[in-house]
């Protein structure tokens, strides 16, 4: 019988994943708030896109800043700082006297979203035992989904004029909990060993590993990898090393496809798209809540799937369903749905798309980068892949309504369906299976002359 995992490991994942809840809430709340804002402030389609997408611009900046700060000050310190920025941004957004201040506040929230999305997965990955690392890291995505669900419910409950201020302010509560909780959690032992603080790292590992685990061997393995990786004063310059490129290419590719497959076009604009298609505001908001429920279900199933069937298989098994659901939406929207049957097909397809894409892509995207990127460049490497994610998210958010206006809902959904197909091809050709592998085993596979996917497939945990 295997030794029991210490409760501290789950506490680390649970508290840190609150950053995911804030991330999900602050990006999702605009879907409900936008229906009020566009009426209260008489926003055009382009202005709506700016209000939605400015948080993503902030996220790009925040991801880069977090990576630099994490190298110098550690993962825990950055996540704590992110919680403070979340709280300040939420207060500023709730008190915004005009659109300009609201946009600035959402940019500040974006800094926190970018920092959370790049550093929380790294923090959880570096503290988790390999056997349960997948499910603990997917807890971050599950909390993102829960945050989005809460935001959709708040959008429905606070649908009266002016309710958007309370919608924004509610994010202060989990921000305070995250900031306080991080004070009691340990720093990453991998970061500590990189900084020569071996004794402190050993004490942390003893608290995080089952009784009887070979802590010295794990610390030696981390130290050996840190030495062979060539820890340098400027890890950003190391991103261009030839042996690092396969991992970086995969991390950035998965990050990009996580957005190009259309998930946040649905999350941000589903109520708006449905309302404009004649569904009515109440039905549109209820559908938004349903989308949030699907995201949570996808997070739970994804958390189980990544450790049971593997990261690569999860993507290859569920992404075809995502592509098919998006293709059905494209066909139904050739004309505006006018019958009850057509409208039910639209809602069912939206839910199916969110479920399959949520399991096949969103449950994996925050897991792959921190797993496959080497220790010496993990902070900046994850920041770069996260920057890619937010850049493509910004592209989708800033163009979705414009694309619908230019090529229609049908053409826009067809384009997203094509992106799902291309993502399947990318995964099949490039992405290795990391299930059950230690971070050190994954990194050692990068150093072999064989292609990365083949080299890792040949290792044994």
Q: Are the beta carbons of 93 and 106 closer than 8 angstroms?
A: yes
Task: Examine residue 449 and state whether it is found in any structural domain, yes or no.
Answer: yes
Polymer length of the chain: 461
pLDDT at 443: 85
The residue range of the domain holding 60 is 8-185+229-457
What separation in angstroms does the CA of 300 have from each of 137, 150, 316, 335? 12, 16, 18, 35
Tokens of 290: 């349903």
pLDDT value, residue 322 = 96
Which strand (E) or helix (H) includes residue 292? helix 281-308
Taking alpha carbons only, the member of 386, 461, 385, 425 closest to residue 111 is 386
209 domain residue, yes or no: no
The pLDDT of residue 352? 94
Please say whether the beta carbons of 58 and 111 come within 8 A: yes
To 10 degrees, what angle do helices 340-357 and 263-276 make?
A: 160
How high is the pLDDT of residue 111?
A: 92
For residue 204, tell me if it sits in a domain.
no
pLDDT for the residue 461: 45
Asked if residue 349 belongs to a domain, the reply is yes
198: left (phi over 0), alpha (psi -120 to 50) or beta: alpha
Among candidates 63, 55, 57, 60, which has minimal Cα distance to 29? 55
Task: Let me know if 212 is exposed, middle or buried by CB neighbors in 10 A (0-12, 13-18, 19+).
Answer: exposed
Q: Is residue 38 part of a domain?
A: yes
- What does pLDDT average to in each consecutive run of 10 residues of the chain (461 residues)? 70 83 84 76 73 84 85 88 93 85 90 86 83 78 84 81 82 91 88 88 87 83 71 60 87 93 82 70 73 87 87 95 94 78 84 93 85 81 84 83 85 94 95 85 85 76 45
What are residue 47's phi and psi, to 5 degrees? -65, -35
Angle 265-270-276 from CA coordinates, rounded to 5°: 120
When divided into structural domains, the chain yields a total of 1
Q: What's 150's domain CATH number?
A: 1.20.1250.20
Task: Say if 202 falls within a structural domain.
Answer: no
Question: Which residues are CB-neighbours of 223 under 8 A, at least 6 positions away?
Answer: 193, 198
Residues with Cβ within 8 Å of residue 272, at least 6 apart in sequence: 31, 34, 35, 48, 284, 401
Q: Is residue 1 part of a domain?
A: no
Residue found by looking up tokens 């993503």 in the block? 56
Whether 2 maps to a domain, the answer reads no
Is 264 within 8 Å of 396 (Cβ atoms)?
Answer: yes
Contact predicate 23/279, CB 8 Å: no
């Amino acid at each position: 019988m295997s030794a029991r995992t210490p409760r501290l490991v789950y506490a680390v994942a649970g508290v840190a994943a609150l950053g995911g809840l804030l991330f999900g809430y602050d990006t999702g709340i605009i879907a409900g708030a936008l229906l009020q804002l566009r009426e209260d402030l008489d926003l055009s389609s382009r202005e709506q896109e700016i209000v939605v997408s400015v948080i993503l611009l902030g996220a790009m900046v925040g991801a880069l800043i977090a990576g630099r700060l994490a190298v110098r000050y550690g993962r825990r310190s950055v996540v704590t700082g992110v919680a403070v920025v979340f709280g300040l941004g939420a207060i500023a957004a709730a008190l915004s006297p005009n659109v300009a201040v609201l946009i600035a506040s959402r940019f500040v929230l974006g800094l926190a979203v970018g920092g959370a999305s790049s550093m929380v997965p790294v923090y959880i990955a570096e503290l988790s035992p390999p056997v349960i690392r997948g499910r603990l890291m997917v807890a971050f995505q599950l909390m993102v989904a829960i945050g989005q669900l809460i935001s959709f419910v708040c959008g429905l409950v606070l649908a009266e004029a002016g309710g958007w201020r309370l919608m924004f302010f509610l994010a202060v509560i989990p921000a305070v909990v995250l900031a306080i909780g991080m004070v009691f959690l340990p720093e990453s032992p991998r970061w500590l060993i990189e900084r020569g603080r071996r004794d402190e790292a050993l004490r942390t590992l003893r608290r995080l590993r089952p009784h009887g685990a070979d802590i010295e061997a794990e610390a030696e393995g981390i130290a050996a990898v840190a030495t062979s990786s060539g820890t340098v004063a400027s890890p950003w310059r190391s991103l261009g090393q030839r042996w690092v490129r396969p991992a970086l290419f995969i991390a950035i590719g998965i990050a990009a496809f996580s957005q190009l497959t259309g998930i946040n076009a649905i999350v941000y604009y589903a109520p708006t798209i449905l309302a404009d298609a004649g569904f009515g505001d109440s039905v549109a908001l209820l559908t938004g809540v349903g989308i949030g429920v699907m995201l949570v279900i996808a997070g739970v199933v994804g958390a189980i799937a990544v450790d049971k069937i593997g990261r690569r298989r999860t993507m290859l098994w569920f992404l075809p369903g995502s592509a098919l659901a998006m293709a059905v939406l494209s066909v139904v929207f050739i004309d505006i749905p006018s019958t009850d049957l057509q409208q039910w097909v639209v809602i069912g397809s939206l839910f199916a798309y969110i479920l399959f894409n949520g399991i096949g892509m969103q449950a994996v995207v925050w897991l792959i980068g921190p797993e496959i990127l080497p220790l010496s460049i993990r902070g900046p490497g994850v920041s770069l892949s996260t920057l890619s994610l937010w850049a493509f998210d910004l592209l989708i958010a800033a163009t979705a309504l414009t694309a619908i206006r230019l090529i229609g809902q049908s053409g826009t959904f067809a384009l997203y369906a094509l992106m799902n197909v291309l993502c399947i091809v990318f995964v099949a050709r490039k992405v290795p299976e990391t299930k059950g592998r230690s971070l050190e085993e994954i990194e050692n596979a990068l150093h072999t002359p064989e292609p990365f996917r083949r080299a890792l497939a040949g290792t044994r945990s």
